[in-house]
Amino acid sequence: MKTAKRKRTQEFRIGVHTSISGGISRAVERAASLNCNTMQIFSHNPRQWRKNQISQGEAGRFSILRQKYDIRPIFIHASYLINLASLSGEVLSKSISLLSYELMNADKLGAEYVILHTGSARGEDERKARGRAVKAILRSLNAGRYRASLILENTAGRQGDITSSMRTLAEIIDLCNCDGIGGVCIDTCHAFSSGYDLASNEGIEKLISEIDRYIGLDKLKLIHLNDSKQPMGSRIDRHEHIGRGFIGAGGFRKMLSDRRILDVPLILETPKMTEDDDRNNLKKVYEILSHAV
């Protein structure tokens, strides 16, 4: 694997998924208190179909604070309820509407990207399910002229998943063939769980080479940096603290040394059991980066 010394740590874009409790602008303050210079949020309660309106005042405070603390880019993670491959007409219709709402919120806040899990269709041919997801994505994107870009996230490969490999992510992007999709977000736990052995040089090379071959490294917009509670190939999505899972500090050190992904922002979605968890995981990432060669 070709490697190079990483840039100085202060030049990296590293952040966490930040709570919007108490108002969406509070998320920026929470990120800044952790010395994050990028961040990810939900734009509303991700487990409800209900659409709350973000006030102009709150959106304005959000914009002022992100500029003050130089937090960029900002990623909005779309609701977990969205399933654009659903066989249910009702769920599909509500999902299309909710994705359009996520993109509208991103524009209101000035967020650059909306991250999407396209969905699942248990018991159906995956290619048909991806075709349905493509049509749904295009309907959502065509509902307005959005400045924010949609990026697709890989999944852990459980039954019904339609985007657990780089090839399947690329298939959806190619079939959509539109400017509204800006690229992909690769989750390390999901990749590991679906069969990419990120604890080894060979597995890391396989993942990065497939991104390059099928999607293009210029379209890798974000890495969700998460360790895995479950072994490689388990197809179970269970995030773990950095260095305490099956990928381990050694795996992350190998991966983050690769010069081909030097400039990709990193967002942690590690467990939050105490107030110190985010800070401790960020500290571990900086420690790993300082030893990456």
Catalytic residues: 47, 77, 80, 117, 153, 187, 190, 224, 237, 239, 269
What is the layout of strands, in order, in the sheet containing 74-77?
14-16, 266-268, 220-224, 181-187, 149-153, 113-116, 74-77, 39-41
Q: Which amino acid belongs to residue 52? A: N
Picking from 248, 200, 254, the residue whose alpha carbon sits closest to that of residue 2 is 254
Helix 248-256 × helix 201-210 angle, to 10°: 40
User: What is the Cα–Cα distance from 17 to 27, expressed in whole angstroms?
Assistant: 9
By the 8 A CB rule, do 162 and 134 touch? no
Distances (CA, A) of 13 to 39, 111, 139, 256, 263: 9, 15, 32, 13, 8
Q: Which amino acid belongs to residue 163? A: T
